[in-house]
Each structure stands twice: as structure tokens, then as C-alpha cells.
Structure 1
Amino acid sequence: MTSYKELLQQQQALAVQIEEARKRELADAIARVRAEVAEYGLTPDDIFSGRKSAKRAAGAKVAPKYRNPLTGQTWTGRGKAPKWIEGKDRSQFAIA
């Protein structure tokens, strides 16, 4: 049976091997990506521009534009208008 100290040594040796393999594979991945970017003449906007719009579409919060002075309730101006602003001049409820 393997002793506790031997197992700890094996664990340390494996940790070193894991880190070396990670660095090697990461370097390979970076080289492949750089080759593809160079081949197609891609820019960072080509690669990452879709990420911002997807994040926005995923339900990002919108700042409120209107506030009910009586209750403090707010509304962003999107969707169906709440009853307290419905049919009224919205400029009087606008948040400055």
C-alpha cells in the first residue's frame, strides 16, 4: 500500500505535469487561432462584436425614464405604460 507521503509526492508531480500540459496546449491553441486570424484577415471586432449584442439581448437592465411623484414608482418607457402615466403628458413625469 502507498503511504500518505508518497501520495502527496505523486500529487505534486502530477500538478507539475498538468501545468506543463496546460501551457503546451494553450500555446498550440493560440498559434492555431493566430494562423486563422492571419489567414482570413480578421479583426478583434470580427471576433468579439457579436458578444456585446448578445449580452444586450439577454435582458440587460434599462434605466427608468419616468417616475410617479406620488409613489416613487418608475417606468423605463418600454412596454405597456403603467396606469399612473397612461394618457397623461409624460414630460411631467420625466426623470431629469
Structure 2
Amino acid sequence: MTQDELNEILDQIRQLEALNRRIKNLRRVGRIEALEIVAELLHKHRLTPRELRSLFSTSRTVLKPLNRTRTGPKTKVAPKYRHPGTGESWAGRGRPPRWLVAAVAEGADRDSFLIANQEKCAADLANEDGYYTSQVADFPSPL
């Protein structure tokens, strides 16, 4: 290898180092611009750095909103389903009760246990005097 070839290689190394410094500087400027955009968006949408940091945490827990609208105890929900034999009821939330799971597994339609359907059936089977006929032995007595 001649001296001229070595000088040419050294010049290319210097040019490469200069390009690397320029790239590093441009990345730094780009990061600063990106941070300015993020800061502007945080301010615009009234987000806190804590909320932003929670998106990148390792625990993957999402923060609850700071201004909760609902306060106080939970309200009870009216029952939606009723067992015709025992009178047990279920609001339709959470896991279904065993009696309903068993009845559906045996082929019963879940909608047949709706309270509105039971009241309609009872009204259809009542005679003019308001008394139930013998066909409604499964329904609990209203008295």
C-alpha cells in the first residue's frame, strides 16, 4: 500500500467521522423538535407527565382518571331473571347462577326465565276473576 492510498483512506475516515457528527447533531435537533411537539400536545390535551409515563411503565398499569365522575356506593339493579320454582332472582350481571346454567344446559331458553316473560305468562293463564288456573303450578303464588 502506498502513501497516497493511506492518505486517501485517512481522508475517507475523516469524512465519515464528520458525517457521523452531522447525523448525531441532526438526530439531537430532531429529538428536541419531537419533545417540543410532545410538550405542546401534553399542554393542549391537559395531560400530566405521570399519565404519559404510565403508558411506558413495565407494570402495564393504566392510571385511573383523576376526575372521576361517579362517587358513592354502587346502586342495586332490579332482577332480570327469576327461577319459577324457587323464586331466586338474578340481575343479569356477573356469573349466571347455577340454576340458570343447569337449565340452559338441559335445553331451556334463557329468555324463558326473564321476569317480564313470567309475568306475561301468568297474566295469560289467569282467568277473569284474577285467579290462576291449575296450569301455573310452577309460578310462586302472589299472595
TM-score computed with the length of structure 2 as normaliser: 0.34
More helix by share: 1
Q: Which has the larger radius of gyration?
A: 2
Higher RCO, Cα 8 Å, sep 6+: 1
